Amino acid sequence: MSHRNSESVFNLAGQTALITGGGTGLGLGVAKCFVASGARVILVGRRRKELEKARATLGENAFLLVGDVAKLETIPSLVEQAEKTAGPVSILVNNAGNHLKKSALETSDAEFATVLQTHVFGAFALSREVGRRLVARKAGNILFTASMASLFGIPYVVAYSAAKSAYSGMVRTLAVELGAEGVRVNAIAPGWIESEMMNEALSGDPARKARILGRTPLSQFGQAEDIGWAAVYLCSPAARFVTGVILPVDGGASIGF
């Protein structure tokens, strides 16, 4: 590693990343940074129009696949199609998710299961399918998008919190099982990131906005690219000795008071 310069050690040239939920938000932010670092990206999502818009902004190194990770029976064919489209997948980003804002006592079994189906079962099925291929090639990265809800209690998101907390166990176990095979497994736990959805949620609630910023030492919201560059690091040669970690990218919110 010592002979490599700072530019090459963060380079993802020759890598192909499959990013679920890649058409908008954090997934698109990761895709932008990956492409800027030399990778090809395969954007997976349910909404073709959003994927096409994202691909247009990313250029010739971006590809799209319409798919739903909650439909577990489709996962093997999805991965096979991805590799036929853009070559062997060397990076998997488990970013797709759904959300439910409801008190724990009012959350039904079906609602709880729906959130876990996408976050937990979908991410696991993809990690297993892609992981087999990475192990066969003796190299690769699996990255999960965790959450502040993985680290501390947030009200009215019990299903989401349970799903994101499950990532902690999956990351550690997969890292231990796959490490000797040349595959690294990590997660990023984003803090409050600027987005259209977040801005709408906070526009009529200045007290909540002030409370969030008040517990964030850097006193600002993050940008999707902040998550993207952290993802580049974790999937690059610069992080060759890093596996099994959940990296908060949150302006210090998880350690703020």
Q: Nearest 10 degrees: CA dihedral of 118, 39, 65, 144?
A: 0
Q: Which residue has the tokens 């890649």?
A: 22
DSSP 202-250: HHT-HHHHHHHHHT-TT-S-B-HHHHHHHHHHHHSGGGTT--S-EEEES
Please check whether residue 158 is in contact with residue 106, taking contact to mean a CB–CB distance below 8 angstroms: no
DSSP 64-128: EEE--TT-GGGHHHHHHHHHHHHS---EEEE-------B-GGG--HHHHHHHHIIIIIIHHHHHH
Please check whether residue 229 is in contact with residue 249, taking contact to mean a CB–CB distance below 8 angstroms: no
> Which residues are designated catalytic?
160
Helix (H, G, I), strand (E, B), or coil: what is residue 51? helix
